[in-house]
Amino acid sequence: MLTVLCSLTALLLPTSPTAAPPLFCRRSAVQAAGATVAAAAFGGLHAASAAEPTFSKMGGLLEPYIDTQKGYKLYSPKGWNKFESDPGVYDVKFQDVIEPETTVQVSTSPVATATSVSALGDLPTVGAKFAKSRNAELVKAEESDVEGSLVYTFELKGELYHELLALCINRGKLYRVTTVTSNKKWPKRQELYKNIVASFVPKGF
């Protein structure tokens, strides 16, 4: 499992205000085992569920966005600035017109062998590693089934930024949905972000 994590390190850590240099592959097997033990401390923070998430259009604040080439769909914030493809960073980014730190990004990367996000490790272990790489607190971790694909979702709180991150592997691609805002703006944005992440579907067109 450590080998799988190492091979996907560069794909797992998308650029964001909370991101830090990748740490996974620099750890020894002993350190990785320690991370697994540490992750157990988060056991009370996640709720593993096979149920497919439901979402709301937030009274018209969200509108459908479909990328047939990359193979996914989700609901995006209506009226936000849209930026197309920054290679190696995102496939699409939506940015609030007034709050530039408030963004939604989707990115995809090819995956050669893994067929499920579970190849990266179990939910609390992966969540703990993401939190450490961002010097952030793992507030919540959940897993859900979206049309037969397993999705990991993590809520992370850093010193300045709050992030809701979703990961999924489907049909040879690693999908990352990254939603970020300041800690100050999080109470106002959290429901919007939760519904955006819940609306994500890796269709594999």
* Domain spans in the chain, listed from the N-terminal domain onward: 2-199
Radius of gyration of the chain (CA): 16
More confidently predicted of 31 and 175: 175
pLDDT at 25: 37
User: Phi and psi for 49 in degrees, rounded to 5?
Assistant: -145, 140
> Which pLDDT does position 15 carry in this prediction?
44
| CA 46/CA 90 separation, integer angstroms | 27
Confidence of residue 87 (pLDDT cuts 50, 70, 90): confident
Q: Quick one: average pLDDT of 84-108?
A: 95
pLDDT of residue 51: 57
The pTM of this model reads 0.78
Mean pLDDT of the chain: 81
Residue 88 pLDDT: 85
- Say how far apart CA 68 and CA 160 lie, in whole Å: 35
Lowest mean pLDDT across 33-42, 102-111, 121-130, 169-178: 33-42
Residue 33 has pLDDT above 80, yes or no: no
Q: Mean pLDDT across the stretch 181-188? A: 97
Residue 107 in this model has a pLDDT that exceeds 60: yes
Structure tokens, 167: 């990961």
Between strands 81-86 and 46-48, the pairing is unpaired
Residue 194 to residue 205: CA distance in whole angstroms: 24
Which residues lie across from 155 on neighbouring strands? 140, 164
pLDDT of residue 204: 55
- Contact yes or no for 48/142 (Cβ under 8 A): yes
Does the pLDDT at position 178 exceed 90? yes
CA atoms within 13 A on the CB side of 2: 14
If you ran DSSP here, which 8-state letter would residue 108 be given? E
pLDDT above 70 (res 201) = yes
| Torsion sign across C-alpha atoms 161, 48, 204, 21 | positive
Give the pLDDT mean for 17-32. 36
Asked if 156 contacts 16 with a C-beta cutoff of 8 angstroms, the reply is no
Per-residue confidence (pLDDT) for residue 105, from 0 to 100: 97
**Tokens found for residue 113:** 């062998």
Do 200 and 91 form a contact (C-beta atoms < 8 A)? no
Tokens 């017109």 belong to 97
Q: What is the arithmetic mean of pLDDT over 95-99? A: 96
Tell me the β-bridge partners of 182. Answer: 161
SS3 148: coil
pLDDT at 169 over 50: yes
173-182 and 103-110: which strand pairing? antiparallel
Provide mean pLDDT across the span 23-44.
Answer: 38
CATH of 2-199, one of 1.10.10.10, 3.40.50.2020, 3.40.1000.10, 3.40.640.10: 3.40.1000.10
